Amino acid sequence: MSKPPTSNQRHVNAISGRLSLRAPQRDSLAILDRITEIVPLRSNTDLAAKLDIIRSEYPGVTDFEREFPSLCFALATGVGKTRLMGAFIAYLHIAHGINNFFVLAPNLTIYQKLIQDFAANTAKYVFKGINEFAVFTPEVITGDNYENRGTLLDDVLRCKINIFNISKITSEVRGGKQMRIRSFKEELGDSYFDYLSKQHDLVMLMDESHRYRATAGMRAINELKPVLGLELTATPFVESSKGPVAFRNVVFDYPLARAMDDGFVKDPAVVTRKNFITANKSPEAIQQMKLEDGIRLHESVKVELETYARENGVNIVKPFVLVIARDTTHAAELMRLIQSERFFKARYADKVIQVDSSVKEEETVERLLTVEHTGNPVEIVIHVNMLKEGWDVTNLYTIVPLRAANARTLIEQSIGRGLRLPYGKRTGVAAVDRLNIVAHDRFQEIVDEANNPNSPIRLKALVLDEEVLERKTVTVVAAPTILGSLGIKTGLSEEGSKYAGPPPTRAFYNPEAERVAQLAYEAIRKLSRSPDRVPDISYISRPEVQAQLVREVQSQYQPQQMELEGVAPPPPDFAKVIAKTAALVVDRTINIPRISVSPKGEVKAGFKPFTLDLGSMTYAAPEETLWAQYLGRNEGHSIGMSQGNFLEKRPEDYVVSGLIDFPDVSYDDTADLLYDLAGQVVRHFHSYLSAEDTLRLLQLEQPNIARAVHAQMLDHFWMDDTVEYHHVVTSGFTEIKQSAHSAERGEPLDYRSPPADKSNMARYLFGGFTNCLTNVARFDSDSERKLAVILEREAEKWFRPAKGQFQMFYRKGSDHLEYRPDFVAETANEILMLEPKMATQMNDADVLAKRDVAVQWCKWASEHARQSGGKPWRYALIPHDQIADNMELNFLLKTYVCN
């Protein structure tokens, strides 16, 4: 029996859930929980003894490297270090009563970002969802306001977060001077520094700690002597004259290669022109080519992002380009070039900013930190080295490095700024998930570095030994248990069958009886299509239906050939075998009718005329083809195509022919609208391109332009809502469909226990069920697993429907998409359709649309059941955070049933 979680472990679970921590963030929090368990948070204790205790469990920690316990969590850029800091603070405050925190930022950019992220009621507030901070929000004290705080109310148990810029402190202590924080304050009767040093629960958090480990400011801050130091960085080493020196206090390491594998960051790709040769090209020509190609790629990405957003109903992401200059002089030259008529006719003159030491950082930080906002016009950022860390944006999609640096430096220092995903996860759309590094002249060098085993972005080596082969995936079928009981094959390979859990007990051991049972099962499937005679699964046990089944099976049955002795085996008792088979089918099937829905009369639908929003459709005149090579794998592809003969004489025809490829666009019904929209697009391109360039662009980008226009058309789709629908029950019951899954070799997990990695639930198969109607099941979340625990305990039978089990469709724009509920369960009195859903998504438009069609389907199914004496149907939409093992099904239904 597993040990019940401690109260602090429960805090870890609660905080992880409320803050939606990713697996590496949660693992880091669990490590902090364990550290505080084995080394109490007390000052003035034996530092060496603490190190020995921690090193016994975490061998990577060989030295605290400070005069207080300090541990480094090395998490790749883009995984979420700021959110983890929030989780650390929430945990230490809630579980251990820590009220005083000192957060260090390496520069002004990160300093201001941290202040914003720790301030309540902001978009990226790190404590959103932490109930303990709902009333008494943490007090944020900064290097700018600590002198104006007045008397400190130490008797109020309120969390205090001090945020300071270490670079400012370093500048203050140059030449042995005293930093301002050590100045005497009359209100305190002490300096603020000395006040903090006297707090017995001070915890120091160091963001991007590798930037200031050995600075004078850090040495001065060390005198605070906190009870614990927590360092966060993506690069756990410092540079020295002899090369990088690794940290000796790394307690958790989650490198960029793992973040890429787990899909937490964008997929970086190095981009060049197809068949590009640097010979005979001047550095100036190569620079101009890289800049222009970077902008062309940027404009293509901009359209792809808007199209994806419109098609999926999410916020539109405004991408930007990062240009890396050699020095401040070079940056100024690039600024003048981009603002001149020579560069796309000065189209980006007011959309570019320069960020380096020649420009006051304070004047630029605000525009820099809001570069994600659609209201910020900036689309190009030129910098030298000011943006090394902490610039927390998600919309950097194109990097153009123009300074001399080795490939490793380009990879480590450049791509880190663009790895964050705008939607928090990969979308499956290449352009939305890809970070482009335009490096025509450095292409092969960067690819070679990416393949270097010591590179932070590398191709993994795979050695095929027995252990690796044993972990090979196989296809496992979640098959109805009735099939196994009757000896019916599922089409699964023998190898896959080994990992589908124990086979169901065979109902018949006599081969001839089993053949009769299989024929009976096929006859029962045929009867399902006669709802007038068999409106309900229970009808197959009635005498008249049994007699019909016997006749059908006898007509199909062929006895085995006589054995060598000349005596044929006796035929089985047909009536007895068929009766037992029918009883098994009734017992292991839930009565799901097939309901066909069709409109009464003609359905009227179409698209309303409108004016296109073409502000982001600013393609440049097409040039040669670009080539993108992914850094994480040996794969590349072309972006664009070479110019060729024009296939259409009118430019509008390219747009129209692209639009009529969509199944919801009828040329006959919408020709006038299509040509109106096509005309808008052509006039837009003619406003800044020649007629020939417009034709070439429309030929080159036809699919993307058509998708972008169609995405906006969906916002203007209409359908006559007064249309009435009628339904017909075409099958009294349907067989349970099987589904296939890829899974690692191994026995299915026990459904009663969650796996170690709950954030990746979909990789596991579960078994050990008693009342589930399939041999194995897969869950998308731990809440679904918990609901299965409840159903095993309280339902007569249940299963997870496969695709096509129900003929239910909900409307999304002009499309009708299949809805597949998560669970179907039968109790003594009713049949249930159950849908667990993230609590934050309960009112999403798609969720409500699915709910509405499911409720209507349940009404029709209940109406059919009343006529045949069957059980009524109900639908429940249940928030995930209300599902727990101790919950009763009836309690959930009382609260969340929808009909």
- Give residue-wise pLDDT tens across range 227-257: 999 999 888 888 777 777 889 999 999 988 7
- The C-alpha angle with vertex 517 and arms to 512 and 521, in degrees rounded to 5, equals 150
The residue among 445 and 620 whose pLDDT is bigger is: 620
CATH code of 747-896, in short, is 3.40.1350
pLDDT, tens digit, for every residue of 321-339?
989 888 889 999 999 999 9
Give me the residue spans of the domains in the chain: 7-254, 260-450, 475-596, 605-622+639-719, 747-896
Residue type, 449: E
- Choose between 385 and 710: higher pLDDT: 710
pLDDT band for position 36 (50/70/90)?
very high
Residue 710 dihedral angles phi and psi, to the nearest 5°: -65, -35
Which among 309, 269, 266 is positioned nearest to 616, based on CA atoms?
309
All residues at 6 or more sequence positions from 238 whose CB lies less than 8 Å from its CB, including other chains:
210, 213, 214, 244, 245, 247
pLDDT interval class at 72 (50, 70, 90): very high
- Give the integer Cα–Cα distance in Å for 379 and 319: 7
Q: Percent helix, strand and coil across the chain, each rounded to 5?
A: 40, 20, 40
Please write the tens of the pLDDT for every residue from 411-467.
555 666 778 888 888 888 888 888 888 877 665 666 666 666 556 554 333 222 334
Architecture of the domain made up of 260-450: 3-Layer(aba) Sandwich (3.40)
pLDDT digits (tens, 9 = 90+) for 146-167: 877 654 544 455 789 999 988 8
Residue listed under structure tokens 């944020």: 140
pLDDT band at 589 (very low <50, low <70, confident <90, very high): very high
Q: Which residues contact 40 (CB under 8 A, 6 or more apart)?
A: none
Q: Kindly list the distances between the CA atom of residue 109 and the CA atoms of 125, 140, 386, in Å, as whole numbers in the listed order.
A: 17, 17, 9
Higher pLDDT, 788 or 528: 788
- What average pLDDT does the structure give for the chain? 81
pLDDT score, position 379: 93
For residue 635, pLDDT over 80 is answered with no
Q: Which pLDDT score, from 0 to 100, does residue 468 have?
A: 33
What contacts 63, CB < 8 A, 6 or more positions away?
51, 248, 249
Q: Which residues, 6+ apart, have CB-to-CB distance to 180 below 8 Å?
A: 172
- The pLDDT, as a whole number, for residue 827 is 95
Residue 21 pLDDT:
87
DSSP character at residue 568: P
Determine the Cα–Cα distance for residues 884 and 855; give it in Å rounded to an integer: 25
CA distances from 504 to 293, 477, 492, 788 (A): 62, 14, 15, 19
Contact 431, 301 (CB under 8 A): yes
Count of positions (residues) in the chain = 899
Q: Give the residue from 496, 502, 458, 493 showing the smallest Cα distance to 474.
A: 496
- 730 sits in the region (left: phi over 0; alpha: psi -120 to 50; else beta) called alpha
Mean pLDDT of 266-274: 79
Cα 677 off chain centre by: 35
Q: Is 38 helix (H, G, I), strand (E, B) or coil?
A: helix
Strands 797-799 vs 823-826: parallel, antiparallel or unpaired: antiparallel
- Average pLDDT rounded to a whole number, residues 508-519: 90
The answer to whether the 7-254 and 747-896 domains have the same CATH topology is: no
Provide the percentage of residues in the chain whose pLDDT is more than 90. 30
Q: How confident is the model at residue 644 (pLDDT cuts 50, 70, 90)?
A: very low
Does residue 175 carry a pLDDT above 80? Answer: no
* Residues 531/539, Cβ–Cβ less than 8 Å: no
3-state per-residue secondary structure call for 710-744: HHHHHCCEEECCCCCEEEEEEECCCCCCCEEEEEE
Residue partners of 433: CB distance under 8 A and separation at least 6: 266, 267, 421, 426, 427
Confidence of residue 204 (pLDDT cuts 50, 70, 90): very high
Instruction: Report whether 397 contacts 320 (CB < 8 A).
Output: yes
367: confidence class by pLDDT, cuts 50, 70, 90: low
Is 107 within 8 Å of 50 (Cβ atoms)? no
pLDDT band at 205 (very low <50, low <70, confident <90, very high): very high
**First-residue to last-residue Cα distance in the chain:** 41
Q: What are phi and psi of 441, to 5 degrees?
A: -85, -10
The predicted model gives 741-770 an average pLDDT of 81
Phi, psi values for residue 826, rounded to 5°? -120, 130
Domain 7-254 has CATH 3.40.50.300: yes
User: Parallel, antiparallel, or unpaired: how do β-strands 717-719 and 605-607 relate?
Assistant: antiparallel
> 777: which DSSP letter?
B
